[in-house]
Chains A and B, each alone.
Chain A
């Protein structure tokens, strides 16, 4: 048999994450600069501006995209850290599962804040 064995890791496993890490980084940079621009233009955030932002659909979508970029980016980064330092498989799997669960939970929380606030 010359066919290579199937591997759970290996070729094509890393490049997608490499790319995702960079694309999500660019999304976060753009959002950060945008928020910085809003803050500078308005001389900081007061409650009225804050309310107006959250009432704006485009802001909510942009913030959702930022949040998703954060979560995906954090998943790849944290998984790399667990893979590098945590050798026992059971412990690593546990930490990875906890990471995913917390990130998905945070996503739910963020959506609740973003769309719960729209009264």
Chain B
């Protein structure tokens, strides 16, 4: 950009088009952190409490919970929630480290965002395959 160009601020979009925004990788980790967090609040907390109650109540409850795992829909939901937990977990650790100024330069921050996306997806995939 030459010095004579008008200030960039004049060409900024006046609205945010969600479809056209190209988020950088750390931005993708960030919005997924938010989405996975909301999913954990809305679904994982009640599901985990339900499972805890059923599994502790009796041996039958424990067994019936295990047999519920055979249901493909239950498996899919669990795998989805598992990904949400893992992504939130790894992205959260990344944020804690960045708060401590570990890897907060541009290049390492980009690398660690790839690591977060990759680790949560690969771990989810491994567990999903074993579950199936």
Q: Let me know if B56 and A74 touch, CB within 8 A.
A: no
Interface size on B, residues (CB 8 A): 21
Task: Indicate with 1 or 0, residue by residue over A2-34, a CB within 8 angstroms of chain B CB atoms.
Answer: 000000000000000000001001100100100
Tell whether, in the assembled complex, residue B46 and residue A106 are in contact, meaning their CB atoms are under 8 Å apart: yes
Residues of A within 8 A of B (CB): 22, 25-26, 29, 32, 47, 50-51, 54, 70, 74, 77-78, 81, 99, 106, 109-110, 113, 117
CA distance A47 to B57 in the complex (A): 10
Partner of A25, one of B53, B59, B96: B96
Where the two chains meet, the residues of B that have a C-beta atom closer than 8 Å to any C-beta of A are 34, 37-38, 40-41, 45-46, 49, 52-53, 55-57, 59, 62-63, 89, 92-93, 96, 99
In the bound complex, do residue A54 and residue B56 qualify as a contact, i.e. CB atoms below 8 Å apart?
yes
Cβ–Cβ contact B45 & A117, under 8 A: no
| Nearest Cβ on chain B to A18's Cβ, whole angstroms | 9
**Chain B's nearest CB lies how many Å from the CB of A85?**
10
Known: A22-B96, A22-B99, A81-B34. A50 touches B56 (CB 8 A): yes
B57 surroundings in chain A (CB, below 8 A): 117
- Give the distance in Å from the alpha carbon of A74 to the alpha carbon of B43 in the complex: 12
